[in-house]
A and B are shown apart, each in its own frame.
Chain A
Amino acid sequence: DSGVTQTPKHLITATGQRVTLRCSPRSGDLSVYWYQQSLDQGLQFLIQYYNGEERAKGNILERFSAQQFPDLHSELNLSSLELGDSALYFCASSALQGAGELFFGEGSRLTVL
Chain B
Amino acid sequence: AQSVAQPEDQVNVAEGNPLTVKCTYSVSGNPYLFWYVQYPNRGLQFLLKYITGDNLVKGSYGFEAEFNKSQTSFHLKKPSALVSDSALYFCAVRDASNRMDSSYKLIFGSGTRLLVRP
Contact = CB atoms under 8 A, between A and B. Distances in A.
Interface of A: 2, 4, 30-31, 33, 35, 42-43, 45, 48, 50-51, 55-56, 58, 90, 92, 94, 96, 99-107
13 contacts: A2-B45, A35-B108, A43-B108, A45-B106, A50-B102, A90-B43, A99-B49, A99-B94, A100-B32, A100-B106, A102-B44, A104-B44, A107-B43
Contacts, number: 65
Interface residues of B, number: 26
B46 A101 contact: yes
Interface in B40-89: 42-46, 49, 51
A2 B46 CA distance: 9
B24 to A, nearest CB: 16
B49 A106 contact: no
Contacts of A48: 103, 105
A48 B95 CA distance: 12
Nearest to A99: B51
Contacts of A102: 44, 46, 106
Tell me whether chain B's interface is mostly helix, strand or loop, or mixed.
Answer: loop
A47 to B, nearest CB: 9
B38 to A, nearest CB: 9
Nearest to A96: B102
Contacts of B100: 55
A92 B34 CA distance: 15
Top 10 A-B residue pairs of the complex, sorted by shortest distance between their CB atoms: A104-B43, A100-B94, A55-B103, A43-B108, A50-B102, A104-B44, A100-B104, A106-B43, A56-B103, A42-B110
A56 B105 contact: yes
Contact of B98 (A2, A42, A55, A107): A55
Contacts of B104: 94, 100
A103 B100 CA distance: 20
Contacts of A42: 108-111
A43 B36 CA distance: 12
B52 to A, nearest CB: 9
A33 B100 CA distance: 15
